[in-house]
Structure 1
Amino acid sequence: MFQDSPIYDRLIAERGDVPTQVRREAERVSRELEFVMQPLRSMDRSHYGELPSSAPPAPQWQRAALPGPGQR
């Protein structure tokens, strides 16, 4: 992306390659989360049957009208 940019090269030299570090850390956390969630997923399927295919819909909040003048 910015590999041929002298400004980008200078920033990497001063601060390190932050986007690459963040990407690696996100991938590591994702792998750890997958590892931790595996026992829960297999337990849910074996003890409770198949997991639901989708989550229930989120509650829908409705804005109630405020009473007008003289209404209460």
Structure 2
Amino acid sequence: MFQETPIFSRLVDERGDVPAQVRGEAERIRRGLDQLLRRSPGPDPSAPPNLPGPKAPSASL
């Protein structure tokens, strides 16, 4: 899939494995969202949809 190059190895040495850190953080966030979505009730089917309404005219003169 991906072969490390000398410049990538140097960057990892200098800065750490940023792609691996990002993947780990994304996985942590995904797990948290999964837990949150499992706990939260679904939308109330009898509730009106939350649609944006018309905007009031601005009073800038």
TM-score (norm 2): 0.61
1:15 — aligned with what? Answer: 15
Q: CA deviation at 1:44?
A: 2.4
Query: For each residue in 1:16-56, what CA deviation from the matched residue of structure 2 results, as whole angstroms up to 9, or x when unmatched?
Result: 0001100110011000011011121xx327xx46xxxxxxx
Q: How does 1:1-72 map to 2 (within 5 A)?
A: 1-3=2-4, 5-40=5-40, 43-44=41-42, 48=44
Query: How far apart in 1 are the matches of 2:42 and 2:8?
Result: 48
2:49 — aligned with what? Answer: none
Query: Which protein is richer in helix relative to its size?
Result: 1
Query: How far apart in 1 are the matches of 2:3 and 2:10?
Result: 11
What is the Cα-based RMSD across aligned positions, in Å?
1.7
**Could you say which structure has the larger radius of gyration?**
1
Structure 1 moving runs of 4+ over 4 Å: none
Identify the structure with bigger relative contact order (alpha carbons < 8 Å, sequence gap 6+): 2
Give unmatched runs, 5+ long, in structure 1.
Answer: 50-72
Give unmatched runs, 5+ long, in structure 2.
Answer: 46-61
